[in-house]
Structure 1
Amino acid sequence: MNVSVVDTGADRTGGSVPFRVSGSVASGSVLQALNSSMIAVAIVGIAAQFGSSSGITWVISGLYLATAICAPIAGKLGALLGARRVYLGGLALVALGSVVGLLAPTVGWLIFARVLVGIGTATQYPNAMTMVREYSERYAVQPRSAITILAACSQAVLALGPTVGGLLVGAFGWHSIMWINLPIAALCALTVTKFVGVGLVRSVSVNVRDLLRSLDVVGAMLSVGLIASTMLFLLSLTSVPLWWLIPVWLMTLAAFIEWEKRAEEPFVDVRSLARNRALSATLARVLFTYTTFYCVFFGVPQWLQYSRGMSATEAGLTMLPVAGVGFGSTFLASRILARHGVRKTLAVGTCAILVGGLLLASVESSTAPIVVLLLVAVVLGIPNGFNNIGNQNLVNSYTSVEDVGTAIGTYRTVQYIGANLAAAVLATTAGHIIGDDGLHRTGWFIAVVGTVLLVGVLTSQNMGDQQLEEQTQWIQQKPASM
């Protein structure tokens, strides 16, 4: 049995989700990647217009916080109201937020606009995955190729963002990172409406009372508090730690678990999640994988500018191999997964994290030729494709079609918690101005995490065909809840 298609019936047909469907639903996933990464090169221009202040930090963090909070809720809403409907509603929010950002008279309005964009982009990936699963189950085809396209669009564009943003900002100013959303959102809406017709997705009709009960509003709000307190605490570690958030987090966590245990239709079925140890382990692995990714994503461009003296455009272009290799490795990883399974796929990705960390721990800004820097960037691009393909296929295999949107939403939340954890790691290992010594300490941190992840992948009991078979049988027998 192929580990990535254990619950789709693909083995009976050998078919796959057609590109017109997978490509159209994947198109929206580029919006979150672009908006979270282009801001890195636009922030200088924004600060120049509105003035440097603490509010500028929230132009970046507001989107991450909104996306992390709303992604699981968006997945749940997609299961209740219809994935396509929520997906298109999110595109409308992205467009609205972009217009507000273009007209923003103050930094406060710009933060509000970025939050709107963050809420809108949170809907795309979870509901794209739900639509892919619904199509694959309806027509008994495998979703692996569609998951590959989703991962490639999201991850490659995330790494490509600084380069694209640098070119746009250099040519048109910082406002370009807002208006570029409008044609992309319109094109996404057009393709999804055309190729993912109503007949291909579940027809869902629910009144407000049933919606509120099914959504578990109390559980959702407690999850918002839990995620928000986590993100705010991690963000505070880069300046003045908000230690009082720790008891708030612990109390919210206790209340969340207790409520979800008793809820008739829980937002997150904590009992099932506790039994679904394979999914829990996958999400933990995603957290540390993305922590290392964002250490590279945030740290290396700063190091290139501070220690190498590069401009923002030069640093972005130097990072281009990370995007290119990440995009290519996604498709290579999909082929390896199909032939050799998820364990070997993740083993390659985690080995690349280890090697990339060791390279960062040894490179010197003053003596390293540009060719060496580009080769380091090539190695750092390898983990993106392999780890995303492996982990997302595991999430797909470990969840039912009703739960996959919420699970992938949680996956995205964990990703952005990793981003903020990476910011805290960089503040500890490298400080605000990243020199050679800081980069070396960061490299050693990445190498240690890569080693731990590699050991975990090689010794895991939840990645063999037999374990996936048992997990799939359990998913098919349990009630439809996350």
Structure 2
Amino acid sequence: MDIRKATSARHAAGGAGGQPAGGDEAAAGPGWRFTVPLMLGSSLNPINSSIIATTLIAIGHTFHAGAASTIWLVSTLYLASAIGQPTMGKLAELLGPRRVFVAGLTLVGIGGALGTVATNLATLVVARVILGVGTSAGYPTAMVIVRRWAAEHEPAHTGGTLGALAIAAQVTSALGLPLGGVLAAAAGWRVTFLINVPLVLIGVVMTLIWVPRDPPRAEHTADGVPPARLDVPGMVLFAGTIASLMLFLNDLHHPRWPLCALVVILLAALVVWERRTQDPFVDVRMLARNRPLSATYLRVCLTFLLNYCILYGLTEWLQETRGLSAIGVGLLILPMSVFAALVSIPFARRNLVRSALYCTAAAAVVGPAGLLLFTSDTPIWVMILITMVFGVVSGLGVIGNQAALYQQAPAESLGVAAGLMRTFTYLGAVLSSSLISLSFGDRATDSGLHTIIFALLGLGAVLFAITPSGARNLKAS
């Protein structure tokens, strides 16, 4: 599909927020009116992923449920998001990104309202699934919207907008934990669901006013060929593969080999089907040919595996072995999150893709090496300085890999490609939880932390080794 022909007359006639399409303003970027609703929509997934963490105990008390039951509120959103992100990206390509973006926001509002009035844990789990599916629309559709805007406003620069999407996700993910705690303490855990409703209303209004409309859906392309159809069998096979894989990876301490066999069978069936169908959900032929894009997905998985091991594994060790309170751990980790956002800004503004990836790879080695200094007696200020190195990993890793994907993915399949990047993010998160469980066992000890550190050193070395070849052909700015 030709993106230039797919954009609407309004899109061609004027930029976002009523700005003219041509001239210096278009070349400088879409503008804040265009960007703000996309930032809001893209942020709903990471904030809902983390905001629930501090309320699980209170929810358990309300419904008389233990940790084994309330953890489904976390894992179901991860699973729904891992499957939903590329699915929503595909729908955006076929139906129009703004339409899917608004539909996703609507689902978020429904999920938030349902969670607010839930009378049992099962209803709350359903609400989290709806939130996972709805919030999955934000990021991939935003990427498609930006790409289509850029196609109509060459030589416009979209690095600032892409960077804003990444930074917004980082900031809201970091704020989710303390925000959930504050909201729950002030008004109870239900408000962490209710908060989605006003955010959705604001997001829908801004999107309808400031984001250009999608073009009417054509029955035929310019060449007289029917447009691409939805590959339902491919989507079902993909969903089954990812669900089985995440369930297997979630508990490597007690591996369920029949589940692993199911993953292999479903993956083989997915590849065979997608190679034969005319309009594949996941273009496996393209992925096989486009090795730089495949390498980007591997970098994303490794980057977030490192990042989540610090966010969850290190914080567990700080509480159980170092004896810090939950608030103390949050304050210790906060500089890392703030530094991740701050260090991202200049790289995003100048679109320094290769530099961001090289810095990420270097920090992925330096950070774990610094963690070897951690013992029960390590001064707090040393811990803060070393953990800030991982701010480079999380901050520049997102900026660099997102910009790389934007360059490497075919324009007509950017929605699925962006969604797949988020899927690999969640795979990294699941792998990190298994690594932490294998290393710590029943208690987070110094020896268990060092086991994680040595594993991270190996992963950092792999990331350092594969980055130069994957970054070589990217535009420097």
TM-score between the two structures when normalised by the length of structure 1: 0.88
Q: Deviations over 1:350-387 (max 9, x none)?
A: 2112222122232123x233322322332221211211
| Counterpart position of 2:237 | 222
Deviation (angstroms), 1:53: 5.0
Which of 181, 206, 220 matches 1:166? 181
Q: 1:212 and 1:292 mapped to 2: Cα distance?
A: 41
Q: What letter matches 2:403 in structure 1?
A: N
Moved over 4 A (4+): 10-14, 210-213
Deviation (angstroms), 1:206: 6.2
| Counterpart position of 1:89 | 103
Which of 40, 45, 68 matches 1:27? 40
| Counterpart position of 1:352 | 363
1:247-396 correspondence to structure 2 within 5 Å = 247-335=261-349, 337-338=351-352, 342-365=353-376, 367-396=377-406
Q: Confirm whether residue 109 of structure 1 aligns to residue 123 of structure 2.
A: yes
Which of 461, 464, 474 matches 2:472? 464
For the residue of structure 1 that corresponds to 2:233, the secondary structure is: helix
Residues 55, 108 of structure 1: 8 Å contact kept: no
Residues 329, 384 of structure 1: 8 Å contact kept: no
Residues 139, 419 of structure 2: 8 Å contact kept: yes
Q: What letter matches 2:41 in structure 1?
A: G
Distance 1:249 1:257, change over 3 A: same
1:203-242 correspondence to structure 2 within 5 Å = 203-204=216-217, 214-238=229-253, 240-242=254-256
| Counterpart position of 2:260 | 246
Distance 1:166 1:438, change over 3 A: farther
Q: 1:213 and 1:273 mapped to 2: Cα distance?
A: 19
Q: 1:225 and 1:317 mapped to 2: Cα distance?
A: 40
For the residue of structure 2 that corresponds to 1:319, the secondary structure is: helix
Q: What letter matches 1:411 in structure 2?
A: M
Q: Where does the alignment leave 5 or more consecutive residues of structure 2 unmatched?
A: 1-21
Which of 178, 185, 188 matches 2:203? 188
Residues 219, 256 of structure 1: 8 Å contact kept: yes
Distance 1:49 1:433, change over 3 A: farther
Distance 1:11 1:286, change over 3 A: farther
Deviation (angstroms), 1:393: 0.9
Deviation (angstroms), 1:301: 2.2
Q: Confirm whether residue 448 of structure 1 aligns to residue 461 of structure 2.
A: no
Q: Confirm whether residue 66 of structure 1 aligns to residue 80 of structure 2.
A: yes
Q: What letter matches 1:189 in structure 2?
A: V
Residues 398, 468 of structure 1: 8 Å contact kept: no
Residues 351, 454 of structure 1: 8 Å contact kept: yes
Q: What letter matches 1:128 in structure 2?
A: A
Q: Deviations over 1:115-166 (max 9, x none)?
A: 1100011100000111111111111112211110000011222123222222
Residues 143, 415 of structure 2: 8 Å contact kept: yes
Distance 1:456 1:176, change over 3 A: same
| Counterpart position of 1:424 | 434
Residues 285, 453 of structure 1: 8 Å contact kept: yes
Distance 1:305 1:211, change over 3 A: farther
Deviation (angstroms), 1:70: 0.9
Q: Confirm whether residue 177 of structure 1 aligns to residue 192 of structure 2.
A: yes
Residues 361, 441 of structure 1: 8 Å contact kept: no
For the residue of structure 1 that corresponds to 2:71, the secondary structure is: helix
Q: 2:95 and 2:379 mapped to 1: Cα distance?
A: 55
When structure 1 is superposed on structure 2, of 164-173 and 412-421 the one drifting more is 164-173
For the residue of structure 1 that corresponds to 2:229, the secondary structure is: helix
Distance 1:337 1:132, change over 3 A: closer
For the residue of structure 1 that corresponds to 2:323, the secondary structure is: coil
For the residue of structure 2 that corresponds to 1:244, the secondary structure is: helix
Which of 49, 61, 69 matches 1:36? 49
Q: Deviations over 1:325-361 (max 9, x none)?
A: 11112113225644xxx33321111211222212223
Report the aligned-residue RMSD. Answer: 2.4
Q: 2:426 and 2:113 mapped to 1: Cα distance?
A: 25
Q: 2:226 and 2:54 mapped to 1: Cα distance?
A: 41
| Counterpart position of 1:475 | none
Q: Confirm whether residue 15 of structure 1 aligns to residue 15 of structure 2.
A: no
Residues 140, 415 of structure 2: 8 Å contact kept: yes
Q: Deviations over 1:55-94 (max 9, x none)?
A: 2221110000000011101000001111011111111111
